[in-house]
Every structure is written in structure tokens, then in C-alpha cells.
Structure 1
């Protein structure tokens, strides 16, 4: 059973959240941004979307995989009641708080920017991810505890055999392909508040747990075959970029998505599995930053888009404003005000920065 700390997973989660911020900022510069509730630049940068379409097929599934892995690490030190109590504090409280205090902020900025009357209907916005994760925890925790506390030798041997083959981890794509064929989503990348996003997330969450549960054999496989997975993913992306205007049938995107994810896990395992003080800090900051980033992004867009500067400079300025604003809120307010910390998924009392490799540095165990 895998017991070592996994700093690479922490790093990949932090990087994925950083890419999520840039992805959402790129939407502002697309001509269809306002149709999905984003403030829209009058000077679009449609070329950005070719690169964003590479990220879009794996960024959200990847976070679901990592969240499933986090439950594995959490179960090692907790019973069922303790896990549910912790996940309620970490996920449910920020989710409910966000419904009433965070999601309305960017809605109001949007309405103010376009001169619309201010009104808000209860909506999770970007926090839909947290709602999904909490449901997955409720549904799958009994099965996870069964596997952890009363292991089934035959199941583990079979899983190990599958994960030891380069085709094995990728073969799980058949479940994602089946999901697409059954639900037939109009747009594969439309994850938020759709049944497609819900069941895709459920599969990724479950298999993320199984990847870590299978032990080191999975990591050895993705390490050894990382270039194969990355090559397949890149070939798929280039084919759809050159011949299909970045589009492929959903089942093709499901396979490409998992190729990217497996390759990323392999490279992360080789190069990122090391502690650092920066990782400790960013791991703690990532969750609060995720929660507040949309409100800060909308404020930045509303202030910067009217400026008479080139679109590229506006894009860079919105990125800088969003990153700076999120970390100023985190560093100056969220992490320092005791009653705010639980509302953003943090422990109530702040503790001194711990040395790399100690304490809660392996934040994957605590992230939703």
C-alpha cells in the first residue's frame, strides 16, 4: 500500500489551478464570452482558443482525478465519521458560503458592467465543482472504506496486473467513452452543471482513488510510458487542430483527455516529487484562490477592458490583476482572520510555516 508523501500531486494540483485561472481569463477575450456569463472584450483574441482547447479536454477531469487521490490519503488516517466531518468542513461549508457570498460578486460585476439591473438567483457559479465533489464523497466513501479496511486480494491483484501494463491505465477510457456515448453531450468540454460533467467527474474521482490504491505499480507504468501517453495526446490534438478546427467526437476527446492526464502524472512523478517551502505555501493558498478568483477576475476585466491599450496588453494585465488580487486577499485577509479561514476551507487557527516534508505539506490529502 502506498504510504509515501506525494509532492508531485500537490504541484500538479497547484499548476492545474493556475492554468484554470488563465483559461477563465482567456474566455473574456472570446467573442462568445458574454453568452456564458463572462465579461467580453470588444477586441477578441480568438487565436488564444486554439491553445485553450488543448487544456480544456483535461483540466477539469484532472482535478477530479486528484480529488479522488486525496480521499485515499485522507482515509489512511481517518475513520468514516472523521472523513465525513472533515470533508463537510473542507467542502460543504465553503460551498454554501460561496453560494451566498462569493458567486454573487462576479454576477453583480457583470451586471454593473453591462448596465443591467442587479439581481441574483442562487447559483453555484464556478463552485459547482465543490458540490460535485461532496456528492462523490457521500456516494463512494463506503466503497472506499471497504477497499481500504477489508481489502479484496483478488481485486487488488487484478488491479495491479492491469496497472502494470501500459495499455492498462488507458483502457479505463472505455468507461469515459461509454459515458459520452450514453449521455451524448453537445459539447464535451461543457462540464459545469451538466449530467455529462457529473458522471465524467464521478468516474475520474473513482479511478483517481484506484490509481493510488493500486500502489506503486501505477506510478511506475506512467513514469515508464509517459512519452507514449503524451505523444498520443499531442497527436490527437494536432489532428483536430489541423483537420477538424480543434473539434473531435466526444469519445475521441475522452481518450485524448486521459492520454494527457496519464502523461502529466508520469512527468510529474519524475520531476516534481520533491518538497519545498513554495509548495507548502502554494498548496495552502490554492483552494482559497480558486474560491475567490472569479470575482477578482471580473473586477479586473471591468477595470482593464475599457483602457485604450492593445488587446494583448489587456490580457496580460487581467492575468496580473487576477493573480495579484487573489494572493492579496489570501495573504492579507483570508489566512489571517480566524473566522474567515473555515469559510475558505482552511483550519481555523493559523500555524507557523512548517519545514518542507513535514506536517500538512502533502495538501492533496486535504484538498477536495
Structure 2
């Protein structure tokens, strides 16, 4: 096991983080067009065939992001030596995560609710009229939309930030135990197991977590599981060595199980194909294939990245800095574009292309504006190259803490 102070930077995880968040733009654009999957807004051009393409990333995309997030935090925790360091990390992470979430809740996410209400409820108000009503938490306009951090003020796609903040605090509390040398030796034995056994273990845990929990709770349990695995992978050199020699069979396993998953999903969506008595077995098989695909693809992508992406690049640092604010704004840009393109009836392919183009341009403009306003960059989670003095940093964190405290208390209670 590598010493905490000698941990080499894994550039492949930086690349995977950027690519995984970039994939969200295409995935959430696809959600406009899939026929049977719910979304905040739907195009008039729906396709059931597209669902099979979406299945290629649906099982694993967020689990990969959680694992990388856990690894990033784990590398920091392994270097902490004093309780004061833990307190400082808790403060900086709270401001760094909850400040953009607060901006998202009140400014970035509301257009998604507006589009949803236009389509589902026939809302005829202008956006400005809607937005004025949005700040009244007891407004009758939102009587059917009470779910949220506050009534009708929901996180939507920013649930990741809410959960990441909570997971960070849990890991901070667990860190002294998790990185206790005797326990680390036992954890090392788990990661030294053959990859096949590890995959079965993770798949079984994912499978079990699908039962008895509501959607949000299930999503958090699975996310925290991979977040924890990522944090524990720090310094586990034996695991990475196993990945290097398993790349080929992992790839074939992903391909074969994807075909199986598509076949089972087809049967699930065509209930007349099988007797009703076999439907429960079909659902179990579909779920089993789904969670196995999640575990297989995450490990395969780690193996590919370790082989081909474990190197720095002059654009990687910029991409890592900008991926957070782009994640923050991308889904609202997608929904806004779809809402205003709908009346033109452009056809599915052209509409989707324009939605993607608008989202990419809007994301670049969004980042560019805040890049040149470094004093405001923290509001959207953007780390610019501007250097602040120590007193400016302390003042910024103090103001940030004042702003996010109501949100932090609401999330904890």
C-alpha cells in the first residue's frame, strides 16, 4: 500500500470525471425523447428505440461519478493529521458545495419547473410572472408541486450536490476509523480478491439495495456505497494491477451483458411475449443484469482509463475547473431550448441537434462570464486562476458560510 504522502496523481480519474459529466449533457438531452422514462419536459418526438441506447450508460454513469468523487476526497483525507484540518475541510466543502446549490435552487433550476408546468398544466404566465410567484413558498400556483428542499424549490438534477455534501460529512466522521492501519490491512485483502468475486459482491449489494427503499433513498444508498469504495481505493495498488490484466474480459463481459440487458428490457416492455407467471422472474433477471452491468462497466472504464488516459494534458486542468459549472447549468439549458423549439416542429433529429448546440454554447458562455468575474466564480463552483489574498479568502468563506447556513440546517433537519 502506498504511503499517503507518496500517492501519485491518477490522471485517468480526472479524465473519467470530465468525460462522465460531459456524458450527462447527451444523456439528459436523450431524456427529452425516450418514450417511457419520465422527465421534467418531453419533446413531441418520442422514441422507444432510443431507450436501448440510453441503457448503455444508465446503469453506471452516476456510480462512476460517485466512485471518482470518493477517491478525490479519500486522497485529501489520507493527508489529514489533526482535527483542525478536518474542521477546515468541512467548512471549505460546505461553502464550495452548498453555495452553488443555493444558486441552483433559486436561479438555475426554476426554468425546469416552468417548462414542466407549461407542458403538464398549460401554464400561460410569462417566465417573469412565474418567477415572481416562485419566491412565495405558499403560493397556490404550486399546490401540486410541494416536493423540494423548500416547498416547490427542488434540487432536480442538482441532487448530486446535496448528496455529496452529506456523504462528505459522513466520510469525515468515519475517516479516523477507515484509515486506521489494522482496518486498512483488512480492506486491502478485500481489494486483493479476484475481480470476479469483487464484481459479484458489488452487484449483490446493488441488487439488495433496490428493495424496500424509495427512489431517493435507494439512489443515495447506492451512491454512498460507491463513494465509500472510491475513498477506500486510495493507495490500493493491488487493485489497479488486477484491473490492468482484466481489461479484455471485462470488455467482453460488458458487451455480452448489455445484449442480455436489452433483450430482457424488450421482454419487459412487451408483456404479451411471456406468460404472466414468468413476469416476476423476468423482473428479477432484468434487475440482476442491470446491476451487474453497473459493476462491470465501472471496472472496465477504470481499466481502460488506467491504460490509455493516465497522463496529464494542458487542457485537462481547464476541463476539470469548468466541468462543475457546466454540470450546474446544462440541464436547465436543455429544457429551455426544448421548450422554445417545440412550436417550430423541426423534427426529432434537427431539434435534438439544436438543443445540444444551444446547451454547449450556453455552457461555454456561462463559464466564460464567471471566469472573468473571479469574485463571483464561487457562486457556480468555478475555480479560476485568480489568486486571492489570505484575508480575502477568509472573508469569502465567512460570507459564504452565512449564506449557506439556512440551506445546511434545512438539509440536516
1:92 pairs with one of 87, 98, 114: 98
1:254 pairs with one of 291, 294, 298: 291
Asked if the contact 2:32/2:39 (under 8 Å) is kept, the reply is no
Asked if the contact 1:25/1:297 (under 8 Å) is kept, the reply is yes
Measure the CA separation in 2 of the matches of 1:87 and 1:235.
41
User: Residue 8 of structure 1: SS of its match in structure 2?
Assistant: helix
Cα shift at 1:167? 2.5
Cα shift at 1:184? 6.0
State the TM-score, normalizing by the size of structure 1. Answer: 0.84
Asked if the contact 1:336/1:350 (under 8 Å) is kept, the reply is no
Cα shift at 1:157? 3.1
Asked if the contact 2:71/2:233 (under 8 Å) is kept, the reply is yes
165-174 or 235-244, which moves further after superposition? 165-174
Measure the CA separation in 1 of the matches of 2:156 and 2:8.
36
1:263 aligns with 2:265: no
1:319-340, Cα deviation, whole Å (9 max, x unpaired): 1211121111101x12221332
1:203 aligns with 2:201: no
254-263 or 1-10, which moves further after superposition? 1-10
Asked if the contact 2:12/2:309 (under 8 Å) is kept, the reply is yes
Cα shift at 1:307? 2.9
Cα shift at 1:201? 0.8
Alignment of 1:269-288 (within 5 A): 269-288=306-325
State the TM-score, normalizing by the size of structure 2. Answer: 0.75
> What residue number does 1:360 align with?
none
> What residue number does 2:201 align with?
172
Cα shift at 1:100? 1.5
Measure the CA separation in 2 of the matches of 1:249 and 1:46.
17
2:381 pairs with one of 334, 340, 345: 345
Cα shift at 1:292? 0.7
1:49 pairs with one of 32, 48, 51: 51
Measure the CA separation in 2 of the matches of 1:163 and 1:71.
19
1:73 pairs with one of 72, 75, 84: 75
Cα shift at 1:105? 2.6
Measure the CA separation in 2 of the matches of 1:326 and 1:36.
21
> What residue number does 1:132 align with?
163
Q: Which one has a bigger Cα radius of gyration? A: 2
CA RMSD of aligned residues (A): 2.4
> What residue number does 2:259 align with?
238
Alignment of 1:348-363 (within 5 A): 350=386
116-125 or 80-89, which moves further after superposition? 116-125
Measure the CA separation in 1 of the matches of 2:90 and 2:114.
34
Measure the CA separation in 2 of the matches of 1:21 and 1:322.
8
Alignment of 1:278-357 (within 5 A): 278-331=315-368, 333-347=369-383, 350=386
Cα shift at 1:304? 2.8
Measure the CA separation in 1 of the matches of 2:187 and 2:376.
42
Cα shift at 1:258? 0.6
For these two proteins, the number of residue pairs brought into alignment is 337
Cα shift at 1:243? 4.2
